[in-house]
Protein backbone atom coordinates (compact mmCIF):
# COMPACT_ATOMS: atom_id res chain seq x y z
CA UNK A 1 0.00 0.00 0.00
CA UNK A 2 2.24 2.73 -1.33
CA UNK A 3 -0.50 5.37 -0.94
CA UNK A 4 -0.49 4.76 2.80
CA UNK A 5 3.20 5.64 2.85
CA UNK A 6 2.25 9.22 3.65
CA UNK A 7 1.19 8.13 7.09
CA UNK A 8 4.05 5.73 7.69
CA UNK A 9 6.07 8.10 9.79
CA UNK A 10 3.24 10.18 11.25
CA UNK A 11 3.16 7.91 14.28
CA UNK A 12 6.87 8.24 14.87
CA UNK A 13 6.76 11.99 14.37
CA UNK A 14 4.00 12.14 16.94
CA UNK A 15 6.08 10.02 19.32
CA UNK A 16 8.93 12.44 18.83
CA UNK A 17 6.69 15.41 19.56
CA UNK A 18 5.09 13.68 22.52
CA UNK A 19 8.52 12.91 23.92
CA UNK A 20 9.59 16.52 23.45
CA UNK A 21 6.69 18.13 25.24
CA UNK A 22 3.65 16.27 26.47
CA UNK A 23 1.85 19.46 27.51
CA UNK A 24 2.24 21.13 24.12
CA UNK A 25 1.22 18.00 22.23
CA UNK A 26 -1.84 17.69 24.41
CA UNK A 27 -2.77 21.33 23.85
CA UNK A 28 -2.27 20.94 20.11
CA UNK A 29 -4.48 17.85 19.96
CA UNK A 30 -7.24 19.59 21.93
CA UNK A 31 -7.10 22.75 19.82
CA UNK A 32 -7.07 20.68 16.63
CA UNK A 33 -10.24 18.94 17.69
CA UNK A 34 -11.91 22.26 18.50
CA UNK A 35 -10.72 23.90 15.29
CA UNK A 36 -12.04 20.88 13.35
CA UNK A 37 -15.51 20.92 14.93
CA UNK A 38 -16.15 24.66 14.95
CA UNK A 39 -16.63 25.33 11.20
CA UNK A 40 -19.53 22.85 11.06
CA UNK A 41 -21.03 24.47 14.16
CA UNK A 42 -20.65 27.94 12.68
CA UNK A 43 -22.39 26.85 9.48
CA UNK A 44 -25.25 25.34 11.45
CA UNK A 45 -25.64 28.47 13.63
CA UNK A 46 -25.63 30.55 10.43
CA UNK A 47 -28.60 28.53 9.22
CA UNK A 48 -30.44 29.07 12.51
CA UNK A 49 -29.74 32.79 12.23
CA UNK A 50 -31.18 33.12 8.73
CA UNK A 51 -34.23 31.03 9.58
CA UNK A 52 -34.77 33.21 12.68
CA UNK A 53 -34.50 36.34 10.52
CA UNK A 54 -37.09 34.98 8.07
CA UNK A 55 -39.38 34.02 10.95
CA UNK A 56 -38.76 37.48 12.52
CA UNK A 57 -39.91 39.20 9.31
CA UNK A 58 -43.29 37.61 9.90
CA UNK A 59 -43.55 37.97 13.69
CA UNK A 60 -41.74 41.33 13.95
CA UNK A 61 -39.56 39.96 16.78
CA UNK A 62 -35.77 40.17 16.32
CA UNK A 63 -34.73 38.73 19.69
CA UNK A 64 -34.26 35.18 18.40
CA UNK A 65 -32.18 36.35 15.42
CA UNK A 66 -29.96 38.44 17.70
CA UNK A 67 -29.49 35.49 20.03
CA UNK A 68 -28.16 33.33 17.17
CA UNK A 69 -26.01 36.23 16.01
CA UNK A 70 -24.45 36.40 19.47
CA UNK A 71 -23.76 32.65 19.45
CA UNK A 72 -22.17 32.88 16.02
CA UNK A 73 -19.95 35.74 17.16
CA UNK A 74 -18.90 33.64 20.15
CA UNK A 75 -18.01 30.67 17.94
CA UNK A 76 -16.00 32.89 15.58
CA UNK A 77 -14.01 34.19 18.55
CA UNK A 78 -13.43 30.61 19.74
CA UNK A 79 -12.28 29.64 16.25
CA UNK A 80 -9.81 32.53 16.12
CA UNK A 81 -8.56 31.67 19.61
CA UNK A 82 -8.02 28.00 18.79
CA UNK A 83 -6.18 28.83 15.57
CA UNK A 84 -3.97 31.38 17.27
CA UNK A 85 -3.32 28.91 20.08
CA UNK A 86 -2.26 26.27 17.55
CA UNK A 87 0.16 28.75 16.01
CA UNK A 88 1.70 29.58 19.38
CA UNK A 89 2.01 25.91 20.39
CA UNK A 90 3.68 25.15 17.06
CA UNK A 91 6.25 27.93 17.43
CA UNK A 92 7.17 26.76 20.92
CA UNK A 93 7.40 23.18 19.79
CA UNK A 94 9.47 24.01 16.72
CA UNK A 95 12.40 25.30 18.76
CA UNK A 96 12.35 22.40 21.23
CA UNK A 97 11.87 19.74 18.62
CA UNK A 98 14.61 21.04 16.31
CA UNK A 99 17.03 21.07 19.21
CA UNK A 100 16.04 17.59 20.30
CA UNK A 101 16.47 16.08 16.85
CA UNK A 102 19.84 17.80 16.40
CA UNK A 103 21.05 16.42 19.72
CA UNK A 104 19.85 12.94 18.73
CA UNK A 105 21.81 13.18 15.49
CA UNK A 106 24.96 14.43 17.20
CA UNK A 107 24.76 11.71 19.85
CA UNK A 108 24.42 9.07 17.19
CA UNK A 109 27.33 10.51 15.25
CA UNK A 110 29.52 9.95 18.33
CA UNK A 111 28.84 6.23 18.29
CA UNK A 112 29.64 5.70 14.62
CA UNK A 113 32.72 3.99 13.27
CA UNK A 114 35.13 5.80 11.02
CA UNK A 115 33.97 3.47 8.24
CA UNK A 116 30.56 5.10 8.37
CA UNK A 117 31.95 8.57 7.86
CA UNK A 118 33.84 7.32 4.83
CA UNK A 119 30.77 5.66 3.32
CA UNK A 120 29.43 8.33 0.96
CA UNK A 121 25.84 7.09 1.06
CA UNK A 122 25.77 7.03 4.83
CA UNK A 123 27.48 10.37 5.07
CA UNK A 124 24.81 11.70 2.77
CA UNK A 125 22.12 10.44 5.13
CA UNK A 126 23.71 12.20 8.03
CA UNK A 127 24.10 15.47 6.14
CA UNK A 128 20.48 15.41 5.06
CA UNK A 129 19.30 14.48 8.51
CA UNK A 130 21.14 17.47 9.95
CA UNK A 131 20.12 19.94 7.29
CA UNK A 132 16.40 19.87 7.94
CA UNK A 133 16.33 18.68 11.51
CA UNK A 134 14.65 21.79 12.84
CA UNK A 135 11.83 22.04 10.33
CA UNK A 136 10.78 18.63 9.03
CA UNK A 137 9.56 16.72 12.09
CA UNK A 138 7.33 19.59 13.17
CA UNK A 139 6.13 20.08 9.63
CA UNK A 140 4.99 16.47 9.52
CA UNK A 141 3.21 16.87 12.81
CA UNK A 142 1.57 20.12 11.69
CA UNK A 143 0.41 18.52 8.49
CA UNK A 144 -0.90 15.46 10.31
CA UNK A 145 -2.82 17.66 12.72
CA UNK A 146 -4.03 19.82 9.83
CA UNK A 147 -5.22 16.70 8.08
CA UNK A 148 -7.12 15.57 11.15
CA UNK A 149 -8.60 19.03 11.64
CA UNK A 150 -9.81 19.30 8.05
CA UNK A 151 -10.93 15.67 8.14
CA UNK A 152 -13.12 16.36 11.20
CA UNK A 153 -14.58 19.41 9.47
CA UNK A 154 -15.39 17.35 6.38
CA UNK A 155 -17.12 14.73 8.50
CA UNK A 156 -19.25 17.35 10.26
CA UNK A 157 -20.11 18.92 6.89
CA UNK A 158 -21.08 15.47 5.62
CA UNK A 159 -23.27 14.91 8.67
CA UNK A 160 -25.04 18.26 8.14
CA UNK A 161 -25.46 17.56 4.43
CA UNK A 162 -26.91 14.15 5.19
CA UNK A 163 -30.13 15.91 6.23
CA UNK A 164 -30.38 17.19 2.68
CA UNK A 165 -29.48 14.03 0.79
CA UNK A 166 -27.32 10.98 1.37
CA UNK A 167 -26.73 10.85 -2.39
CA UNK A 168 -25.22 14.30 -2.44
CA UNK A 169 -22.72 13.20 0.22
CA UNK A 170 -21.85 10.09 -1.74
CA UNK A 171 -21.39 11.93 -5.06
CA UNK A 172 -19.14 14.53 -3.48
CA UNK A 173 -17.06 11.90 -1.71
CA UNK A 174 -16.63 9.78 -4.85
CA UNK A 175 -15.76 12.80 -7.01
CA UNK A 176 -12.96 13.60 -4.58
CA UNK A 177 -11.25 10.21 -4.93
CA UNK A 178 -9.38 10.73 -8.25
CA UNK A 179 -7.79 13.96 -7.04
CA UNK A 180 -6.71 12.16 -3.85
CA UNK A 181 -5.17 9.30 -5.78
CA UNK A 182 -3.39 11.63 -8.20
CA UNK A 183 -1.97 13.68 -5.38
CA UNK A 184 -0.60 10.62 -3.56
CA UNK A 185 0.81 9.25 -6.80
CA UNK A 186 2.65 12.43 -7.74
CA UNK A 187 3.83 12.99 -4.22
CA UNK A 188 5.21 9.42 -4.30
CA UNK A 189 6.97 10.17 -7.56
CA UNK A 190 8.49 13.30 -6.08
CA UNK A 191 9.63 11.22 -3.11
CA UNK A 192 11.46 8.75 -5.32
CA UNK A 193 12.92 11.43 -7.57
CA UNK A 194 14.31 13.24 -4.59
CA UNK A 195 15.81 10.14 -3.02
CA UNK A 196 17.41 8.95 -6.16
CA UNK A 197 19.05 12.20 -7.07
CA UNK A 198 20.84 12.76 -3.79
CA UNK A 199 24.35 12.19 -5.26
CA UNK A 200 23.84 15.20 -7.56
CA UNK A 201 22.57 17.33 -4.71
CA UNK A 202 25.58 16.28 -2.69
CA UNK A 203 27.90 17.24 -5.54
CA UNK A 204 26.24 20.64 -5.68
CA UNK A 205 26.72 21.13 -1.96
CA UNK A 206 30.36 20.20 -2.29
CA UNK A 207 30.87 22.72 -5.09
CA UNK A 208 29.26 25.40 -2.94
CA UNK A 209 31.73 24.57 -0.18
CA UNK A 210 34.74 24.74 -2.48
CA UNK A 211 33.58 28.04 -3.94
CA UNK A 212 32.66 29.71 -0.70
CA UNK A 213 35.10 28.61 1.98
CA UNK A 214 38.23 30.31 3.09
CA UNK A 215 40.48 27.27 3.08
CA UNK A 216 39.73 26.65 -0.60
CA UNK A 217 39.80 30.26 -1.74
CA UNK A 218 43.55 30.39 -2.29
CA UNK A 219 43.71 27.57 -4.80
CA UNK A 220 40.43 28.39 -6.46
CA UNK A 221 41.68 31.92 -7.15
CA UNK A 222 45.19 31.09 -8.30
CA UNK A 223 44.19 28.20 -10.53
CA UNK A 224 41.29 30.30 -11.83
CA UNK A 225 38.87 27.47 -11.01
CA UNK A 226 35.91 29.75 -10.23
CA UNK A 227 34.40 29.78 -13.73
CA UNK A 228 34.77 26.05 -14.24
CA UNK A 229 33.27 25.17 -10.87
CA UNK A 230 30.34 27.55 -11.28
CA UNK A 231 29.72 26.00 -14.71
CA UNK A 232 29.55 22.52 -13.16
CA UNK A 233 27.24 23.84 -10.48
CA UNK A 234 24.95 25.28 -13.16
CA UNK A 235 24.99 22.07 -15.19
CA UNK A 236 23.79 20.03 -12.23
CA UNK A 237 21.06 22.56 -11.61
CA UNK A 238 20.05 22.31 -15.28
CA UNK A 239 19.57 18.55 -15.07
CA UNK A 240 17.71 18.68 -11.75
CA UNK A 241 15.53 21.56 -12.91
CA UNK A 242 14.57 19.68 -16.07
CA UNK A 243 13.29 16.74 -14.02
CA UNK A 244 11.54 19.00 -11.56
CA UNK A 245 9.84 20.93 -14.32
CA UNK A 246 8.46 17.79 -15.96
CA UNK A 247 7.03 16.51 -12.72
CA UNK A 248 5.64 19.92 -11.74
CA UNK A 249 3.93 20.34 -15.10
CA UNK A 250 2.35 16.88 -15.04
CA UNK A 251 1.33 17.30 -11.46
CA UNK A 252 -0.23 20.70 -12.18
CA UNK A 253 -2.11 19.48 -15.26
CA UNK A 254 -3.54 16.34 -13.67
CA UNK A 255 -4.29 18.18 -10.47
CA UNK A 256 -6.30 20.71 -12.44
CA UNK A 257 -8.22 18.14 -14.54
CA UNK A 258 -9.14 15.91 -11.61
CA UNK A 259 -9.89 18.92 -9.44
CA UNK A 260 -12.29 19.99 -12.20
CA UNK A 261 -14.19 16.73 -11.70
CA UNK A 262 -14.73 17.58 -8.04
CA UNK A 263 -15.77 21.12 -8.95
CA UNK A 264 -18.34 19.84 -11.48
CA UNK A 265 -19.78 17.47 -8.88
CA UNK A 266 -19.84 20.31 -6.38
CA UNK A 267 -21.72 22.66 -8.69
CA UNK A 268 -24.14 19.88 -9.54
CA UNK A 269 -24.95 19.58 -5.85
CA UNK A 270 -25.08 23.37 -5.65
CA UNK A 271 -27.69 23.50 -8.41
CA UNK A 272 -29.64 20.74 -6.71
CA UNK A 273 -29.71 22.75 -3.47
CA UNK A 274 -30.78 25.93 -5.29
CA UNK A 275 -33.61 24.12 -7.08
CA UNK A 276 -34.76 22.57 -3.78
CA UNK A 277 -34.79 26.02 -2.14
CA UNK A 278 -36.81 27.54 -4.99
CA UNK A 279 -39.29 24.69 -4.62
CA UNK A 280 -39.31 25.54 -0.87
CA UNK A 281 -38.41 22.00 0.01
CA UNK A 282 -35.63 23.50 2.16
CA UNK A 283 -35.55 26.78 4.07
CA UNK A 284 -33.42 29.78 3.09
CA UNK A 285 -31.32 29.10 6.17
CA UNK A 286 -30.68 25.54 5.08
CA UNK A 287 -29.74 26.70 1.59
CA UNK A 288 -27.25 29.20 2.98
CA UNK A 289 -25.78 26.50 5.22
CA UNK A 290 -25.38 23.99 2.39
CA UNK A 291 -23.76 26.55 0.11
CA UNK A 292 -21.36 27.51 2.89
CA UNK A 293 -20.61 23.85 3.54
CA UNK A 294 -19.82 23.29 -0.14
CA UNK A 295 -17.50 26.23 -0.32
CA UNK A 296 -15.70 25.48 2.93
CA UNK A 297 -15.73 21.77 2.22
CA UNK A 298 -13.85 22.44 -0.97
CA UNK A 299 -11.35 24.53 0.95
CA UNK A 300 -10.87 21.77 3.51
CA UNK A 301 -10.52 19.25 0.72
CA UNK A 302 -7.77 21.10 -1.11
CA UNK A 303 -6.02 21.72 2.21
CA UNK A 304 -6.00 17.95 2.73
CA UNK A 305 -4.58 17.38 -0.75
CA UNK A 306 -1.87 19.91 -0.08
CA UNK A 307 -1.07 18.32 3.25
CA UNK A 308 -0.68 14.92 1.61
CA UNK A 309 1.63 16.36 -1.04
CA UNK A 310 3.81 17.92 1.65
CA UNK A 311 3.70 14.88 3.90
CA UNK A 312 5.58 12.80 1.39
CA UNK A 313 8.52 15.14 1.61
CA UNK A 314 8.37 15.12 5.40
CA UNK A 315 8.22 11.33 5.36
CA UNK A 316 11.21 11.28 3.11
CA UNK A 317 13.08 13.28 5.67
CA UNK A 318 11.97 11.12 8.57
CA UNK A 319 12.71 7.86 6.77
CA UNK A 320 16.19 9.19 6.21
CA UNK A 321 16.49 10.36 9.82
CA UNK A 322 15.42 7.02 11.24
CA UNK A 323 17.62 5.07 8.87
CA UNK A 324 20.47 7.15 10.20
CA UNK A 325 19.50 6.83 13.85
CA UNK A 326 18.94 3.09 13.54
CA UNK A 327 22.17 2.34 11.73
CA UNK A 328 23.65 -0.67 13.44
CA UNK A 329 26.96 0.02 15.07
CA UNK A 330 29.06 -2.89 16.25
CA UNK A 331 29.69 -2.00 19.87
CA UNK A 332 33.22 -1.84 21.17
CA UNK A 333 32.47 -3.86 24.24
CA UNK A 334 35.71 -5.03 25.75
CA UNK A 335 36.07 -4.52 29.50
CA UNK A 336 39.64 -5.40 30.41
CA UNK A 337 41.63 -2.61 32.03
CA UNK A 338 44.95 -4.43 32.02
CA UNK A 339 46.67 -7.24 30.22
CA UNK A 340 48.34 -10.37 31.61
CA UNK A 341 51.83 -9.21 30.64
CA UNK A 342 52.35 -5.44 30.99
CA UNK A 343 55.95 -5.74 29.79
CA UNK A 344 55.00 -7.27 26.46
CA UNK A 345 54.06 -4.07 24.60
CA UNK A 346 52.39 -4.29 21.18
CA UNK A 347 52.25 -7.36 18.98
CA UNK A 348 50.84 -7.61 15.45
CA UNK A 349 50.23 -11.23 14.46
CA UNK A 350 49.43 -11.86 10.81
CA UNK A 351 47.23 -8.78 10.50
CA UNK A 352 45.24 -8.26 7.29
CA UNK A 353 42.99 -5.37 6.44
CA UNK A 354 41.09 -4.35 3.31
CA UNK A 355 39.13 -1.09 3.14
CA UNK A 356 35.41 -1.55 2.47
CA UNK A 357 34.92 -1.57 -1.29
CA UNK A 358 38.65 -1.87 -2.05
CA UNK A 359 39.99 -4.78 -4.09
CA UNK A 360 43.54 -4.91 -2.73
CA UNK A 361 44.33 -5.37 0.96
CA UNK A 362 45.96 -2.31 2.54
CA UNK A 363 47.72 -4.54 5.09
CA UNK A 364 48.98 -8.03 4.32
CA UNK A 365 50.13 -10.46 6.97
CA UNK A 366 51.80 -7.78 9.08
CA UNK A 367 53.66 -9.27 12.03
CA UNK A 368 55.94 -7.41 14.43
CA UNK A 369 56.62 -6.85 18.10
CA UNK A 370 57.21 -3.51 19.83
CA UNK A 371 58.52 -3.63 23.40
CA UNK A 372 57.96 -0.90 25.99
CA UNK A 373 60.72 1.67 25.99
CA UNK A 374 61.38 1.43 22.26
CA UNK A 375 60.80 3.74 19.32
CA UNK A 376 59.62 2.32 16.05
CA UNK A 377 59.90 4.13 12.72
CA UNK A 378 57.64 3.11 9.84
CA UNK A 379 59.07 3.65 6.39
CA UNK A 380 57.56 3.15 2.94
CA UNK A 381 56.23 4.82 -0.18
CA UNK A 382 52.98 6.77 -0.16
CA UNK A 383 50.12 4.30 -0.04
CA UNK A 384 52.22 1.47 1.39
CA UNK A 385 49.89 1.13 4.40
CA UNK A 386 51.61 3.09 7.17
CA UNK A 387 48.60 5.15 8.18
CA UNK A 388 46.33 2.13 7.87
CA UNK A 389 48.55 0.26 10.31
CA UNK A 390 48.08 3.12 12.79
CA UNK A 391 44.34 3.13 12.21
CA UNK A 392 43.94 -0.55 13.06
CA UNK A 393 46.26 -0.16 16.02
CA UNK A 394 44.08 2.66 17.38
CA UNK A 395 40.89 0.66 16.65
CA UNK A 396 39.52 3.18 14.17
CA UNK A 397 39.24 0.08 12.00
CA UNK A 398 39.17 -3.55 12.95
CA UNK A 399 41.49 -5.92 11.12
CA UNK A 400 39.88 -8.61 8.94
CA UNK A 401 42.29 -11.29 10.05
CA UNK A 402 45.01 -11.79 12.62
CA UNK A 403 45.46 -10.40 16.10
CA UNK A 404 46.78 -7.24 17.65
CA UNK A 405 47.82 -7.66 21.26
CA UNK A 406 48.61 -5.06 23.89
CA UNK A 407 50.25 -6.35 27.06
CA UNK A 408 49.37 -9.83 25.86
CA UNK A 409 45.65 -9.13 25.45
CA UNK A 410 43.82 -8.71 22.10
CA UNK A 411 42.69 -5.12 21.49
CA UNK A 412 39.05 -6.21 21.20
CA UNK A 413 39.05 -7.28 24.84
CA UNK A 414 40.27 -3.95 26.16
CA UNK A 415 37.85 -1.42 27.58
CA UNK A 416 37.76 1.15 24.73
CA UNK A 417 38.14 4.07 27.14
CA UNK A 418 41.19 2.57 28.82
CA UNK A 419 42.74 1.81 25.46
CA UNK A 420 42.10 5.31 24.20
CA UNK A 421 43.59 6.85 27.30
CA UNK A 422 46.80 4.94 26.67
CA UNK A 423 47.28 6.17 23.13
CA UNK A 424 48.31 9.66 22.05
CA UNK A 425 48.17 10.03 18.30
CA UNK A 426 48.63 12.83 15.81
CA UNK A 427 47.74 12.13 12.19
CA UNK A 428 49.13 13.97 9.22
CA UNK A 429 45.69 15.49 8.68
CA UNK A 430 45.26 16.51 12.32
CA UNK A 431 42.48 18.94 13.16
CA UNK A 432 43.01 22.67 13.35
CA UNK A 433 40.39 23.60 15.89
CA UNK A 434 39.07 27.12 15.59
CA UNK A 435 39.51 27.61 19.35
CA UNK A 436 42.16 29.44 21.34
CA UNK A 437 45.66 28.06 21.09
CA UNK A 438 45.47 26.97 24.73
CA UNK A 439 42.29 25.02 24.07
CA UNK A 440 43.85 23.52 20.94
CA UNK A 441 46.48 21.99 23.17
CA UNK A 442 44.22 21.26 26.13
CA UNK A 443 41.85 19.21 23.92
CA UNK A 444 44.54 16.53 24.01
CA UNK A 445 43.26 15.54 27.43
CA UNK A 446 39.59 16.31 27.69
CA UNK A 447 39.68 16.27 31.49
CA UNK A 448 42.29 18.99 31.56
CA UNK A 449 41.14 21.40 28.85
CA UNK A 450 41.49 24.31 31.27
CA UNK A 451 44.58 23.12 33.13
CA UNK A 452 46.83 26.15 32.34
CA UNK A 453 49.98 24.75 33.89
CA UNK A 454 49.54 21.45 32.09
CA UNK A 455 48.96 23.23 28.79
CA UNK A 456 52.11 25.33 29.11
CA UNK A 457 54.11 22.23 29.95
CA UNK A 458 52.72 20.34 26.94
CA UNK A 459 53.44 23.35 24.71
CA UNK A 460 57.03 23.33 25.86
CA UNK A 461 57.40 19.64 25.11
CA UNK A 462 55.75 20.07 21.70
CA UNK A 463 57.93 23.11 20.95
CA UNK A 464 54.97 25.43 20.48
CA UNK A 465 55.69 27.51 23.60
CA UNK A 466 58.34 29.83 22.08
CA UNK A 467 56.04 31.26 19.37
CA UNK A 468 52.91 31.25 21.55
CA UNK A 469 54.77 33.41 24.08
CA UNK A 470 55.22 36.07 21.39
CA UNK A 471 51.45 36.46 20.85
CA UNK A 472 49.96 39.41 22.79
CA UNK A 473 47.16 37.23 24.16
CA UNK A 474 49.50 34.26 24.62
CA UNK A 475 47.53 31.06 25.26
CA UNK A 476 44.20 32.88 24.85
CA UNK A 477 44.93 33.73 21.22
CA UNK A 478 42.04 32.68 19.00
CA UNK A 479 43.24 30.53 16.09
CA UNK A 480 41.84 30.26 12.58
CA UNK A 481 39.80 32.74 10.59
CA UNK A 482 36.25 31.79 11.46
CA UNK A 483 35.93 33.89 14.57
CA UNK A 484 36.75 37.45 15.53
CA UNK A 485 40.45 38.31 15.93
CA UNK A 486 41.39 34.81 14.79
CA UNK A 487 45.04 34.36 13.97
CA UNK A 488 46.28 32.01 11.25
CA UNK A 489 49.43 29.99 11.90
CA UNK A 490 51.96 28.59 9.47
CA UNK A 491 51.61 24.88 8.77
CA UNK A 492 54.74 24.14 10.77
CA UNK A 493 53.34 26.10 13.72
CA UNK A 494 50.05 24.23 13.49
CA UNK A 495 52.01 21.00 13.59
CA UNK A 496 53.75 22.11 16.75
CA UNK A 497 50.38 22.92 18.29
CA UNK A 498 49.12 19.46 17.28
CA UNK A 499 52.21 17.86 18.70
CA UNK A 500 51.73 19.72 21.98
CA UNK A 501 48.20 18.36 22.00
CA UNK A 502 49.60 14.83 21.86
CA UNK A 503 52.00 15.75 24.66
CA UNK A 504 48.99 16.71 26.76
CA UNK A 505 48.23 13.02 27.18
CA UNK A 506 50.67 12.46 29.96
CA UNK A 507 49.20 9.11 30.88
CA UNK A 508 49.46 7.78 27.36
CA UNK A 509 52.25 5.26 27.01
CA UNK A 510 51.85 4.75 23.27
CA UNK A 511 52.74 7.84 21.30
CA UNK A 512 52.06 7.80 17.57
CA UNK A 513 53.22 10.52 15.20
CA UNK A 514 52.04 10.03 11.64
CA UNK A 515 54.12 12.56 9.71
CA UNK A 516 53.03 15.49 11.82
CA UNK A 517 56.46 16.96 11.42
CA UNK A 518 56.59 16.98 7.61
CA UNK A 519 56.22 20.76 7.37
CA UNK A 520 58.78 21.52 10.06
CA UNK A 521 62.38 22.16 9.24
CA UNK A 522 64.65 19.13 9.54
CA UNK A 523 66.19 20.60 12.66
CA UNK A 524 62.85 20.90 14.46
CA UNK A 525 61.88 17.36 13.49
CA UNK A 526 65.18 15.99 14.75
CA UNK A 527 64.74 17.87 18.01
CA UNK A 528 61.26 16.48 18.50
CA UNK A 529 62.51 13.02 17.87
CA UNK A 530 65.34 13.59 20.33
CA UNK A 531 62.72 14.45 22.91
CA UNK A 532 61.00 11.19 22.24
CA UNK A 533 64.25 9.65 23.36
CA UNK A 534 63.32 10.82 26.85
CA UNK A 535 60.68 8.11 26.79
CA UNK A 536 60.30 6.42 30.10
CA UNK A 537 60.89 2.72 30.57
CA UNK A 538 57.39 1.68 29.68
CA UNK A 539 56.48 4.12 26.91
CA UNK A 540 56.44 3.28 23.23
CA UNK A 541 56.59 5.59 20.25
CA UNK A 542 55.75 4.99 16.62
CA UNK A 543 56.90 7.55 14.10
CA UNK A 544 56.17 7.86 10.41
CA UNK A 545 58.56 10.09 8.53
CA UNK A 546 60.08 10.42 5.11
CA UNK A 547 63.27 11.94 6.50
CA UNK A 548 65.83 9.24 6.94
CA UNK A 549 68.01 11.52 9.06
CA UNK A 550 65.25 11.19 11.68
CA UNK A 551 64.28 7.61 10.94
CA UNK A 552 67.79 6.35 11.57
CA UNK A 553 67.53 7.50 15.20
CA UNK A 554 64.75 4.98 15.91
CA UNK A 555 65.52 1.82 17.84
CA UNK A 556 63.65 -0.27 15.37
CA UNK A 557 62.69 0.38 11.76
CA UNK A 558 59.97 -1.40 9.80
CA UNK A 559 59.69 -1.07 6.02
CA UNK A 560 56.26 -1.45 4.45
CA UNK A 561 55.72 -2.19 0.79
CA UNK A 562 52.26 -2.60 -0.72
CA UNK A 563 50.81 -3.40 2.68
CA UNK A 564 53.38 -6.02 3.63
CA UNK A 565 56.19 -5.64 6.13
CA UNK A 566 59.21 -6.43 4.01
CA UNK A 567 62.19 -5.52 6.19
CA UNK A 568 62.76 -4.71 9.83
CA UNK A 569 65.65 -4.12 12.14
CA UNK A 570 67.95 -1.35 13.35
CA UNK A 571 69.40 1.20 10.96
CA UNK A 572 72.74 -0.56 10.95
CA UNK A 573 71.39 -4.03 10.34
CA UNK A 574 69.11 -2.80 7.56
CA UNK A 575 71.99 -0.97 5.88
CA UNK A 576 74.02 -4.13 6.07
CA UNK A 577 71.24 -6.13 4.45
CA UNK A 578 71.46 -3.78 1.48
CA UNK A 579 67.75 -4.12 0.69
CA UNK A 580 64.95 -1.63 0.11
CA UNK A 581 65.78 0.48 3.17
CA UNK A 582 69.43 0.74 2.28
CA UNK A 583 68.46 1.76 -1.25
CA UNK A 584 66.06 4.48 -0.11
CA UNK A 585 68.47 5.75 2.52
CA UNK A 586 71.36 6.02 0.06
CA UNK A 587 69.12 7.74 -2.46
CA UNK A 588 68.16 10.44 0.04
CA UNK A 589 71.64 10.77 1.44
CA UNK A 590 72.98 11.39 -2.08
CA UNK A 591 70.56 14.27 -2.49
CA UNK A 592 72.30 16.03 0.37
CA UNK A 593 75.84 15.56 -0.83
Judged by the rule CB under 6 A, the positions of this chain that interact with ligand ADP are: 118, 355, 358, 362, 380, 382-388
Would you say 296 or 384 has its CB closer to ligand ADP? Answer: 384
Of 279 and 358, the one with the shorter C-beta distance to ligand ADP is 358
What residues does 556 pair with on adjacent strands? 376
For the stretch 248-260, what's the b/e string if a residue is b when 16 or more beta carbons lie within 10 angstroms of its beta carbon?
eeebeebbeebbe
- Are 585 and 550 in contact by the 8 Å Cβ rule? The answer is no
Q: How far is the CB of 397 from ligand ADP (least distance, A)?
A: 9
Cα dihedral value 535, 558, 554, 397, nearest 10: -30
Q: Which residue, 72 or 514, is less far from ligand ADP as judged by CB? A: 514
- The span from the CA of 22 to the CA of 97, in Å, is 12
Measured in whole angstroms, how far is the alpha carbon of residue 112 from the centre of its chain? 12
Closer Cβ to ligand ADP, 23 or 358, answer by number: 358
Q: Nearest distance from residue 564's CB to ligand ADP, in Å?
A: 12
Nearer to ligand ADP, 382 or 593 (CB): 382
**Cβ neighbours of residue 399 under 8 Å, at least 6 residues apart?**
351, 352, 353, 363, 392
Residue number with CB closer to ligand ADP (115 or 211)? 115
CB of 547 to ligand ADP, least distance (A): 15
Q: How far is the CB of 2 from ligand ADP (least distance, A)?
A: 37
CB of 512 to ligand ADP, least distance (A): 12
Rounded to a whole number of angstroms, the minimum distance from the CB of residue 457 to ligand ADP is 30
CB of 561: closest distance to ligand ADP in angstroms?
10
Least Å distance between CB 427 and ligand ADP? 10
Which of residues 53 and 365 has its CB atom nearest to ligand ADP in the complex?
A: 365
Pair type for strands 346-353 and 556-561? unpaired
Please tell me the distance from the alpha carbon of residue 217 to that of residue 221, in angstroms, as a whole number.
6
**Taking a C-beta distance cutoff of 8 angstroms, is the pair 580, 588 a contact?**
no
Q: What phi, psi does 465 have (nearest 5°)?
A: -55, -45
Residue 20 CB neighbours (<10 A): 20
Q: Which is nearer to ligand ADP, 193 or 365 (CB)?
A: 365
Beta strand 540-544 pairing with 375-379 = parallel
Helix (H) / strand (E) element for 568: namely strand 564-569
Closest approach, Cβ 514 to ligand ADP, in A, equals: 7
Across 218-374, where does the E strand assignment appear? Answer: 346-353, 363-370
Helices 166-196 and 226-278 pack at an angle, to 10 degrees, of: 180
Three-class secondary structure assignment of 454-507 = HHHHHHHHCCCHHHHHCCCCHHHCEECCCCCCCECCCHHHHHHHHHHHHHCCCC
Q: CA-to-CA distance for 466 and 492, rounded, in angstroms?
A: 13
Residue 440 or 545: the one with the smaller Cβ distance to ligand ADP is 545
Asked if 42 contacts 76 with a C-beta cutoff of 8 angstroms, the reply is yes
Amino acid sequence: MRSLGVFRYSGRALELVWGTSKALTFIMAGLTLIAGLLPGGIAWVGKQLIDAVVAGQISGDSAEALRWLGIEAGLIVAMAASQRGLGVAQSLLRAQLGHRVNVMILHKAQTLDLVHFEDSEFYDKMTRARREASSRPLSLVNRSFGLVQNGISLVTYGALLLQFSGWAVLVLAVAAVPAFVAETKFAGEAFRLFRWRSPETRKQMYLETVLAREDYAKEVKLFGLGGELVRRYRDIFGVLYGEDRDLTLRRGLWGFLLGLLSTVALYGAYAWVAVAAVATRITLGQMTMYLLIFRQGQGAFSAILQAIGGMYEDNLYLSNLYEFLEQEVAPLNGSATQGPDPRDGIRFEDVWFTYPGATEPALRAVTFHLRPGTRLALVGHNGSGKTTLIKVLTRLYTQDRGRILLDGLPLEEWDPAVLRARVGVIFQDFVRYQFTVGENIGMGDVDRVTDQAGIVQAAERGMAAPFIETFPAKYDTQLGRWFKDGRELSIGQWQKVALSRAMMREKADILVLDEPTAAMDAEAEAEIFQRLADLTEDQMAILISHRFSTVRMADHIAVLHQGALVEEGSHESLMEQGGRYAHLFTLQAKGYQ
